[in-house]
Amino acid sequence: MHWKTRQRLVTWALGTLTIGFLLYQWLPILTLAVLSFSGPTGGTTFPMNGVSLHWYRELWAASFIGDFKPPLWRSFLLALACSGVTCVLSVASAQAMRARFAGHNAFFFLLLLGLMAPGLLVGFGFALLARLLGMEPAWNTTAFIVHVSWTLPFGFLTMLAVFNRFDVKLEEAALTLGANRFVAFRRITLPIVLPGVIGAALFGFSLSYDEFARSMFTTGPDNTLPLAVLAQLDQQLTPELYAIGTATTLTSLLVILLTTTVLWLSRRRAAAR
C-alpha cells in the first residue's frame, strides 16, 4: 500500500475518533436537555413522560423548588468580574514576563501553582485566612478572590503563548515612528493580541461560572449557581435541574457565539477601513 493511501486511512481514523470524542462530550448534556422537556408527570430517567415546557415554567416561577434566579445572577456577575480581572491581570503579567525581570521563572511557577493546588483546600484555606483577617466569606469578596486565583493562570498561559508569537519589532517600529509606549501598546500590541485577550476573558468567565470546589467554603450565605444546584440535588431531583443545566449551557454557547461574532465583525470593519 502506498504511504499516501495509508495516510488517508489514518486521517479517516482520526476523524472518527474526533467525532467519537465530541459525542462523548456532548451526549450527557444532550440527554439532560432532552429530559428537561418532559411532561409535568415526567421523571428524571428515560422513557420520557410527554413533552412540555413545564419544567422551564416551574424554574422561572420557582414555585416548587428554591428560586435559582438570584444564584444565577450572582454567578453571572461573579463570572463577569472574574473575566474582566483575568483579562487585565493576564495581559499585565504576560507583559511582565516579556521583560524577563529577575525571578521571572519563580513568578511563572508560583502562578501556575494555582492550577495544581486542590480547589477545595485552596477555598478552605482562604476561608480560614479571611476569618483570621476578620473578613466574612461572601460570593462577591472571598469567593471572587479565590476564583481569580483559579482563572488567572489560564488567562496568563493564553497570553504568554500569544506574546511568544508576537513580533517585538512591530512595537519597536511604532516607537521609531513617533508613538510613545502607551500609544504603541494601544494601537499595535493590543489589536494584534486581541484574540488571545478574548480567549483569556472566556476562560475567566467559564471557569468561574461553574466553579464549585473553590466556592464551597468561600461563598457565605448567598449561594452561587453551582452551589445552589448541588444543594437542590441533595434534597430532590426533578427535571427542573435538567432545565437549568440546559439553560445555562445555552447561555454559555450564546456568549461565546456573540463574542466571536463581535470580534469577526470588528475585524471586518477594521479591514474595510
Partner 1 sequence: MAQLDLEIRSLRKRYGGFTAVDDVSLQVGQGQFVCLLGPSGCGKTTTLRCIAGLEEPDDGEILIGGRQVTHDPPWQRDIAMMFQDFALFPHMSIARQVGFGLEMLKRPKAEIRKRVAEVLAAFEIGGLAERRPASLSGGQRQRVALARAMITEPRILLLDEPIGALDYSLRETVMLELKQVQRRSGISFIWVTHDQNEAFSLGDLVVVMNHARIEQQGTPQEILQRPRTPFVAGFVQGNNVFRGRYTAAGAGHARVGAYLLPAGGPPPAEGAEASFSIRAELLRFNPPADWPNRLAARCLTVEYFGSIRRYILQGPDGALLKLDQFGAEPATIGVGEETVLGWRAADAVLHA
Question: What is the smallest separation between the CB atom of 187 and partner 1, expressed in angstroms?
Answer: 8
Give the nearer residue to partner 1 in terms of CB position, either 180 or 235.
180
Draw the binding track, 188-217, toward partner 1 (x: CB under 8 A; -: no contact). x--xx-------------------------
C-alpha cell of 219? 461563598
Distances (CA, A) of 183 to 41, 79, 145, 189, 215: 63, 30, 31, 9, 39
Residue 183, interface with partner 1 (CB under 8 A)?
Answer: yes
Rank residues 88 and 179 by Cβ distance to partner 1 and give the closer one.
179
Instruction: Give just the sign of the alpha carbon dihedral 46, 48, 52, 55.
Output: negative
**187, 270 Cβ separation under 8 angstroms:** no
Q: What's the rounded Cα separation, in Å, for the pair 261 and 137?
A: 38
> Taking Cα atoms as reference points, which of 59, 21, 79, 215 lies closest to residue 137?
215
Site for partner 1 in 241-270 (CB under 8 A): 270
Contact residue for partner 1 among 41, 63, 176, 235 (CB under 8 A): 176
Stretch that binds partner 1, among 23-31, 63-71, 185-193, 249-257 (CB under 8 A): 185-193
Work out whether 180 is an interface residue with partner 1 (CB under 8 A): yes
Interaction between residue 98 and partner 1 (CB under 8 A): no
65 touching partner 1, by CB under 8 A: no
Residue with C-alpha cell 428524571?
Answer: 44
- What length is written for the chain? 273
Q: Which residue's CB is nearer to partner 1, number 176 or number 235?
A: 176
> Please, which residue, 51 or 173, has the CB nearer to partner 1?
173
Q: Which is nearer to partner 1, 179 or 213 (CB)?
A: 179
Q: Locate 76 and state its grid cell.
A: 453571572
User: Among 177, 231, 262, 263, which residue sits at the site for partner 1 (rule: CB under 8 A)?
Assistant: 177
Residue 180: φ, ψ to 5°: -80, 180
Q: Which of 169, 221, 234, 235 binds partner 1 (CB under 8 A)?
A: 169
| Residue whose CB is less far from partner 1, 145 or 175 | 175
Applying CB under 8 A, does 116 fall inside the site for partner 1?
no
Contact positions toward partner 1, by CB under 8 A? 167, 169-170, 172-181, 183, 187-188, 191-192, 270-271, 273
